[in-house]
Amino acid sequence: MSVLPAIDFHCHSHFSDGALSPMELLELAKARDVQQLAITDHDTVGAYALPLHASAASAGITLVTGCEISCQWQRRSIHVVGLNLDLASSDFGRAMTIQAQAREDRAEKITEVLQRLGFDVALPQVQALAGLGVVGRPHFAQHLVATGQIPSMTMAFKRVLGSGKPGDIKANWPTLETAVGWITDAGGIAVVAHPMKYNMTLTKLRALLSDFVAAGGQGLEVLTGYQDAQRINALADLAHRFDLYASAGSDFHQPGQPWAELGRVAALPDRCVPVWTLWS
């Protein structure tokens, strides 16, 4: 493993499904000696409307603009992280509007499904939990737990909101090619997020990466939070095979999750070419 600058290019604030504000993320990153940070909220760049760059600079942190975009590939939901984006791009601004509408439509459908199942839920209640952020399934789970209808977040996903459950509504996400195009048109670098979380066979993952590269994708998250050496090496091999730059991030959402702690990202294998060499 090579010794590299402390980086975290995948984390979430309260503008999506994270627990901390962007400023609190910066404070935590500083406490953990992170040198480069990207806040990659789901389908929104609302965090960057704040004067974050000046605050990051004063903390000795290079802030890299980022966003985690939801899309579809072969009827599967895939997440692509865009890094080093030009947020002044009007086309990217329109893309965020499209994603916000898709999330709003999905939230309405999830509300209807939960109501049919007998749960006491109204969309304004869930939107209040999301605050400034976009509504996601975790906010519905929070509501069900807070109102005593389900005992825990884990149980909420296990019973009604997790993969394959009634509340797992598929939004009208753009294609993989469209999402990558939004990122590259905004001058950014498209990175496949948490590739091992899709539970694909190696053959299927190779097919995804082949289509991703054909669409203009350039990066792969070789490190996502805590991973064992076997997975790290497998992803490093894939990055090398497809000539992809390697990225790393915690996928941090909230304190107290040791598998996804901000700034606690291992060093990349020596054979990887770090994605940040594209803008360093």
% residues pLDDT > 70 (the chain): 98
- Please give the domain boundaries of the chain with CATH numbers for all domains: 7-95+172-278 (3.20.20.140)
Question: What does pTM read for this prediction?
Answer: 0.91
Q: Residue 4: its pLDDT value, please? A: 53
| Helix H or strand E segment including 29 | helix 22-31
Distance set, CA 217 to CA 58, 115, 161, 202, 212 (Å): 32, 40, 30, 19, 5
According to DSSP, the residues that pair with 246 across neighbouring strands are 220, 274
- Mean pLDDT by runs of 10 across the 280 residues of the chain is 72 93 95 96 91 90 96 94 95 94 93 96 92 86 96 95 89 95 98 96 97 98 94 96 97 94 91 93
Write the CB contacts of 103 (distance below 8 Å, at least 6 apart in sequence): 43, 134, 135, 136, 171
Burial call 148-178: b when 16+ CB within 10 Å, e when fewer = eebeeeeebbebbbbeeeebebebebbebbb
8-state DSSP, 93:
H
Cβ 257 vs Cβ 242: under 8 Å? no
What's the gap between Cα 39 and its chain centre?
9
Q: Which of 248, 227, 257, 254 is nearest to 10 (CA)?
A: 248
Q: Residue 1: its pLDDT value, please? A: 47
Distance, CA of 54 to CA of 63 (rounded, Å): 9
According to DSSP, the residues that pair with 80 across neighbouring strands are 69, 192
Distance, CA of 76 to CA of 257 (rounded, Å): 26
Distance, CA of 223 to CA of 230 (rounded, Å): 12
Q: Residue 23: its pLDDT value, please? A: 95
Q: Residue 3: its pLDDT value, please? A: 44
Q: Residue 164: its pLDDT value, please? A: 86
